[in-house]
Amino acid sequence: MDSEHSSSNGNSIEQLQAELAATQADMDRLNQIGIALSSEKNLNRLLEKIVSEVRGFTHCDAGTLYRVHEKRPQLLFKIMQTESTGYYAGGTTENKITLPPVEMYVDGEPNHANVSAHVAVTKEVVNIPDVYEAEGFDFTGPKKYDEMTGYRTESMLVVPMLDHTDKVIGVLQLINALSPEGERIPFEERFESMVRSLTSQAAVAINNALLIAEIEHLFKALVHYTVKAIDARSPHTAGHSSRVAKLSKRIAQDMNLQTAGPFADIHFTEDQIEEIWVAGIMHDVGKIGVPEDVLEKRNKLDGAKFDLVLGRLDHIRDLILLRAEVENARNGSPSGEPDADTEAQLQALAEDKEFILWVNKPGFLAPEKKEILDNLSKKTYLDIEGNEQPYITPYEYENFSVIKGNLTAGERKRIQYHVVETSKMLNKLPFTDKLKQVPVIAGSHHEWINGGGYPKGLKGDEIPLPARIMCIADVWDALTAQDRPYKPPIPVDKSCKILESGAEHKEFDADVVKLFIKHQLWEKKPGEIPEFADDDDKS
């Protein structure tokens, strides 16, 4: 008897130790899952991870996650997974769930007929060994699904997802627990409290992910509309920042696809791609400090400043005619009949005016045209009081003498300084760690490989790759934009040649330019083009 009793106690101790070990293993696994869930910030991946992790923990074949609608008492299908059939829907998958929401209340009364709605309303856990033998719930839906697909829904564990305030934010439905041999079995009772604890952790993780998503959405909205407000100062460049951001993002995403060539080892993370997009959106915020008359300048002189020149030339014409009339009166000549000298003066003035109208337009000022302007700047006339006055003032001459474009050296420098202002403004913003490079990227997008860019004159790899990418996107949009008042859009083939010339002169990153043109990234999306391979490197 003593021997048998001792053996019995030994078995009991061993069994108890095994149970304790199993419980400890479960607790360790629960902690691991909790840590994994709390570290995931992407909501769709989090929801998928919740279902897959809990399925693995409970050894079950299928799972469905519902989320409570924010405004209505409904359960929305978010994730569906069935391992045995390979069916995965919702979340990051391409399979969209088209099933209608589950109403938590029907005619104002709790919907106890539907097991998921019942769990959401009562906050109770429901453990059903076999749905075909269960009473009290309507399992018409699962049975129809089984009939259509040949699947057999048997055991079911349905658990409410309660957040830290004890509010139900979702429901997790687990289907078909499996034995080690793969046979369908009921869910063990020990899983009920464990899964409930796990879903509570999951609910907190979901709320955290939602809060982070809301903060990020708010931040992006503020960024977007701030940039829109800045762009609105110049309707002719409105949309430029968004286009540069999208194009920069597209180039970076395309680099991620490359397995050969100079970008084979480049891989931007999702956060880095977003960082590039944000930097693109904000790359011109410093223009808020550029005077509107410079930002909006269409010609070499605009508005009242140019009208003043034309008015002066008209005034000179009136003075020529007036003095001719006075001279005729003195000489007794017929009124209204200017002599040859007067006609010559009027003709010369008309030619000067025609030249002024031409030279005011933005474009290239050839040396022979510059000589005409120089001569015009030396011309003077006598005003009504007999004082000598210039045809055009030094300020007007400075503007008309711009060789290329329509901006003076000072105005161009003022616009270029916007990059410094951009850096100053962005460095004052409390960017999160994943966006901490935004000021550097945005502040370096006008730097050139050869060191001839601005504002710091960085060279080569001193310029971050995202900034080199953005430089190409920015130049491309400036060349091809349809909305610039001072120039027509440059055709794609010519714009490509300009980029290639810039790469040849080591202004732009030649590898980025080659990728951009080879894959025609101004019109294609990543995945629509072949992987990059440098034909010159083939051996």
Confidence of residue 535 (pLDDT cuts 50, 70, 90): very low
Q: Sorting pLDDT into bands at 50, 70 and 90, what band is 536?
A: very low
> Which residues lie across from 76 on neighbouring strands?
67
Kindly give, in sequence order, each residue whose CB lies less than 8 Å from that of residue 51, ignoring residues fewer than 6 positions away.
63, 64, 65, 79, 81, 172
Give the model's pLDDT for residue 530: 44
Percent of the chain with pLDDT over 90: 49
Q: Is the pLDDT of residue 303 over 90?
A: no
The pair of structure tokens assigned to 414 is 């003022």
Mean pLDDT of 15-42: 61
What average pLDDT score do residues 107-132 get? 94
Question: What residues form DSSP beta bridges with 161?
Answer: 170
Spatial distance between the Cα atoms of 105 and 436, rounded to a whole number of angstroms = 47
CA atoms of 315 and 103, how far apart (whole Å): 82
Q: What would the mean pLDDT of 374-389 be, rounded to a whole number? A: 90
pLDDT class for 31, splitting at 50, 70, 90? Answer: low
Using DSSP, state whether 284 is helix, strand or coil.
coil
pLDDT of residue 334: 67
When mean pLDDT is compared over 150-164, 316-330, 411-425, the highest value belongs to: 150-164
Radius of gyration of the chain (CA): 38
∠ CA 134-139-142 to the nearest 5 degrees?
120
Out of 33-47, 401-415, 460-474, give the one with best mean pLDDT.
460-474
Contact 208, 38 (CB under 8 A): yes
pLDDT > 80? residue 483: no
In the predicted model, is pLDDT for residue 421 greater than 80?
yes
Closest alpha carbon to 50 in 185, 167, 205, 169: 205
What integer pLDDT is reported at residue 308 of this predicted model? 93
Residue 295: pLDDT above 80? no
Q: What is the pLDDT of residues 59-115, one digit of tens each?
A: 999 999 999 998 899 999 999 999 999 999 998 898 999 999 999 999 999 999 999
Is residue 531 scored above 70 in pLDDT?
A: no
Q: Where are the domains of the chain?
A: 15-211, 233-292+414-537, 303-406
pLDDT band at 10 (very low <50, low <70, confident <90, very high): low
**Domain 15-211 indexed as CATH 3.30.450.40:** yes
**Mean pLDDT for the stretch of residues 385-411:** 89
**Backbone CA torsion sign across 328, 329, 332, 335:** positive
Contact 379, 314 (CB under 8 A): no
The structural architecture, per CATH, of the domain 233-292+414-537 is Orthogonal Bundle (1.10)
Query: What pTM was computed for the model?
Result: 0.62
What value does the mean pLDDT take over residues 295-303?
Answer: 81
pLDDT in tens, 222-275: 777 777 776 666 665 667 888 899 999 999 999 999 999 999 999 999 999 999
Average pLDDT, the chain: 84
Taking 90 as the threshold, does the pLDDT of residue 30 lie above it?
no
Percent of the chain with pLDDT strictly greater than 70 = 85
> Which of 96 and 8 is assigned the larger pLDDT?
96
Please, which pLDDT band fits residue 391 given cuts at 50, 70 and 90?
A: very high
pLDDT of the residue at 336: 62
The torsion angles phi and psi of 385, rounded to 5 degrees, stand at: -95, 5
pLDDT of 299 above 70: yes
Mean pLDDT across the stretch 121-145? 91
Reading the block at residue 300, the tokens are 């070499």
What integer pLDDT is reported at residue 76 of this predicted model? 95
The closest of 38, 45, 33, 37 to 92, measured between CA atoms, is 45
